[in-house]
Structure 1
């Protein structure tokens, strides 16, 4: 896999391709992942010493068009499947209405369980039990990329009067933190203030993402 230093060279919207992968995929696992999870996945690979695990990331901006995710995943699986002994998809449902699961079943590849990354970072059982329908969530990635993935796509930079329409039914912003980073906490707190929401920070670490990748890496 690519061995560039994670914190200094990996952009937030990283798209890692097969360039730099091992010439032979025999005995290797490829993770086809959402670009919003690139930092976390590479960190787990590095921390666990999974030298046999490679990762290729699809653009994180696909989350603004979830109907496009299944076809993008299908194309990536077809492109890489002959070169690897095992492929796995590091997406949850992510707004595809079950279509991504159907695509993965059709292709014979596993994916991450759950409705979205907020749930698997928090832990699926804990997230479901909270039933926080009036909470808006950020991860480390979204705290960094709030303007690019939330503020501007919703047009709030041009039409701040839309704020009440989009967020009037929310009560708080919950920052699910993967790392202990004061600067990201400050960014997330500022996002809550801009949205007019109460702020809560929860340190989740990598949550169920870690256990899922451990399972795939060991298989």
Structure 2
């Protein structure tokens, strides 16, 4: 594909954000041709060392096909390695260390951490897949005695809700009970993720 044939905008995202991405895109009436998505495995939440190389591969694939590329990942535990890749590839990502920060908003997230440093966060995705990602993913189904080792320093679970869904709220509340944490729900909507996507979509009109 020649440079002149490249068009549209690609967002490289964590698989945990795919549903939210599609919801924001639909709400704004953007087509796939205007704002496309490709995702890396959500389970890499637990294997952040895989993220930088995975994102680089997606960027190099995308540069052959799209006029613009953006990355919908926080640092996500890569210790700055993802930002080093993005600097080399000259690609911008959403601000923030993780999705909890950009869903809640940086100031609100910092305030929650000041209120209670021992806070464990859920998003809609993690609430929906708590058993697979947390209970089974961390081996608690096989070794429940590890709960205190993993979560003994936490005091509360805050569910950052992107949508109003009583069933998800119930799942999140049950997750808090299983972890022995107090429960709190805060509705965030799509937060700074929606703003970032709007800027990505608008960037095509600026050229």
What TM-score, normalized to structure 1? Answer: 0.87
**Structure 2 stretches of 5 or more lacking a match?**
none
Mapping 1:108-187, distance limit 5 Å = 108-131=90-113, 132-187=116-171
**Structure 1 stretches of 5 or more lacking a match?**
1-23
Distance 2:168 2:140 in 1: 21
Q: CA deviation at 1:192?
A: 0.3
Distance 2:91 2:105 in 1: 22
Distance 1:165 1:195 in 2: 11
Larger fraction in helix: 2
Distance 1:38 1:68 in 2: 18
Q: Name the Cα RMSD after superposition.
A: 1.2
Which residue does the alignment assign to 2:13? 33
Q: CA deviation at 1:129?
A: 2.8
Q: How many pairs does the alignment contain?
A: 196
Does 1 or 2 have the higher relative contact order (CA < 8 Å, sep 6+)? 2
Distance 1:25 1:175 in 2: 44
Q: CA deviation at 1:25?
A: 6.5
Which residue does the alignment assign to 2:24? 44
Distance 2:182 2:159 in 1: 11
Residue 216 (str. 1) matches residue 200 (str. 2)? yes
What TM-score, normalized to structure 2? Answer: 0.92
Q: CA deviation at 1:27?
A: 3.1
